[in-house]
Amino acid sequence: MSTLKSIRLLGLLAVMSIGVTLLGCSGGQNDTNSQSMNDDSNSMQDSSSNAAMDVGEQANIVNTVVERPQFGTFATALSEADLKPVLEGHGPFTLFAPTNDAFSALPPGVLDKLLKPVNRDKLQMILRFHVVRGYYPADKLVKTNRMLTLEGQSLNVDVRGGEAYVDGARVSQADLDARNGVVHQIDKVLLPAGFDASALK
């Protein structure tokens, strides 16, 4: 009878030992799974944060122009005139950007001469005539008659057939928003009073 009790006792102890071991393994696995879930959660939060930062980073006016092929000539002119730092400033600015075709419509030889270092002051004068201090999206632009440019002269704004015109140049694409202002695409190069193409060297 004593021997039978001993056998039963040993069996019970063995079962208890196995149970404790299994619980220990299960707890370790839970800790591992929990840590893995926390790591995945942190990784997802970091990814979401980085994505939000990317979305929130809006290009400035210069980059808005440079990134669009239709403004290739205008971007080159900004570099030659050393005006990029101005348009990368705090602003806000409203820029009327002529397309490549608009520059091609200038009289023969004028663009090539404007891009020469010796004529940088003339190029700066023309490009500053395309920039207005302040934020003028399309809905505000069409309600404006005159706008003072960085060059010092004013631009006349009028609306014809539902389209905005700035000193005779049609706004062919409006509201290219930038971090420090807005860009409006125009189909003509604006020439300020006093500019004399024949005086270019």
Over the stretch 115-158, which tens digit does the pLDDT of each residue have?
A: 999 999 999 999 999 999 999 999 999 999 999 999 999 999 99
Contact 120, 132 (CB under 8 A): no
Over the stretch 146-189, which tens digit does the pLDDT of each residue have?
A: 999 999 999 999 999 989 999 999 999 999 999 999 999 999 99
For the chain, the average pLDDT equals 81
How large a percentage of the chain has pLDDT more than 70? Answer: 72
Residue 199, pLDDT score: 87
- CB-neighbour burial class of residue 84 (10 A; exposed 0-12, middle 13-18, buried 19+): middle
pTM over 0.85: no
Distance CA 184, CA 96 (A): 5
Residue given tokens 């809905």 in the structure block: 139
Residue 125, pLDDT score: 96
Hey, what are 174's tokens? 């409006």
